[in-house]
Amino acid sequence: MAGGIRWLREGWRLFRVSPLNWMALVSIYWLAMTAVSLVPLIGVAAATVLIPGFSVGFMAASRSCEQGRTPAMGMLFEAFRDRPLPQLMLGAVYLTALVVLLAATMLADEGALAGWMLVGARPSDAELQSDGFFSALVVAAGLYVPVMMLFWFAPLLAAWHSMSAGKALFYSFFACLLNWRAFFGFGALVAAISLGIPFLVLGALLVVAGGQIRAGAATIAFPLLMILLPVLLASFYASYRDVFAPPDGQ
């Protein structure tokens, strides 16, 4: 638990070095991923493959803030300039893992969750409230834990430690396993913050706006998200610094 608290605290410190630049980086990432995902037939798959590489860009921004420098927008694409092949290989493995995960959920809900995630086909209200859909969510959450462990450090290990994609996945998985207490505490804190803040916001809006909350919620949720996401991303870098000795010059 102490490690997770430390990572989040460090993430907040790194965000405060240059909050506007962090928000700009997140915005550029969203725009880039949205543009790629709109490509017919292959857009969503291509965007998923790019996720590991973009994660290295956010870590480079975190490193820059740690060194007291303002992160440049070009850092977001660092992994695709220096060693793109390992990142694309990791992206392909990540895509495959998600496809397998969603295929497994089809056994529980006949494809409702998979259809929503892959093609945006929102399930009906009855499907969303069904036991099968809930079971699919449980299956997805359970299967995503080992996927997350594989990829938590892998992009950085491939980019900054010159590891192959397979070696990076191996070391990432066992680094998470050996430090499971810190990661469990970190996950619990993130879940509490992610769930607690929206409830507090909605509760305040109910009191102030007398139940007319939709517009107010959207107005408040967006800036909160633009703060929470950079802090979480920077805290991932803090976990890397805690677990792995950075290579010379990093």
Does residue 152 have a pLDDT over 70?
A: yes
At residue 162 the predicted structure's pLDDT band, cuts being 50, 70 and 90, is very high
At residue 32 the predicted structure's pLDDT band, cuts being 50, 70 and 90, is very high
**Percent of the chain whose predicted confidence (pLDDT) is above 70:** 86
Domain locations in the chain? Answer: 2-243
Comparing 161 with 4, the larger pLDDT belongs to: 161
Nearest 5°: the CA angle 236, 242, 245 is 110
pTM of the full predicted structure?
0.87
Q: How far is CA 224 from CA 28, 104, 203, 231, in A?
A: 17, 34, 15, 11
pLDDT tens profile 108-125: 888 888 888 877 778 888
For residue 102, the model assigns a pLDDT of 92
Comparing 123 with 69, the larger pLDDT belongs to: 69
Does residue 200 have a pLDDT over 80?
A: no
pLDDT tens profile 128-145: 888 888 999 999 999 999
Does residue 234 have a pLDDT over 90?
A: yes
Q: Looking at 17-31, 76-90, 235-249, which range is the least confident one?
A: 235-249
Nearest 5°: the CA angle 82, 84, 90 is 135
Q: How far is CA 226 from CA 43, 186, 217, 231, 237, in A?
A: 24, 20, 14, 9, 18
For residue 191, the model assigns a pLDDT of 82
**Closest alpha carbon to 92 in 13, 169, 18, 39:** 169
Interval 50-62 mean pLDDT: 97
At residue 12 the predicted structure's pLDDT band, cuts being 50, 70 and 90, is very high
Strand, helix or coil at 2? helix
| H-only helix segments in 129-179 | 131-151, 154-160, 165-178
For residue 49, the model assigns a pLDDT of 97
For residue 40, the model assigns a pLDDT of 87
Report d(CA 107, CA 211) in Å as an integer. 39
The C-alpha R_g of the chain, in whole angstroms, comes to: 19
For residue 117, the model assigns a pLDDT of 82
For residue 218, the model assigns a pLDDT of 53
Does residue 202 have a pLDDT over 70?
A: no
Query: Exposure of 219 by Cβ count < 10 A (0-12 exposed, 13-18 middle, 19+ buried)?
Result: exposed
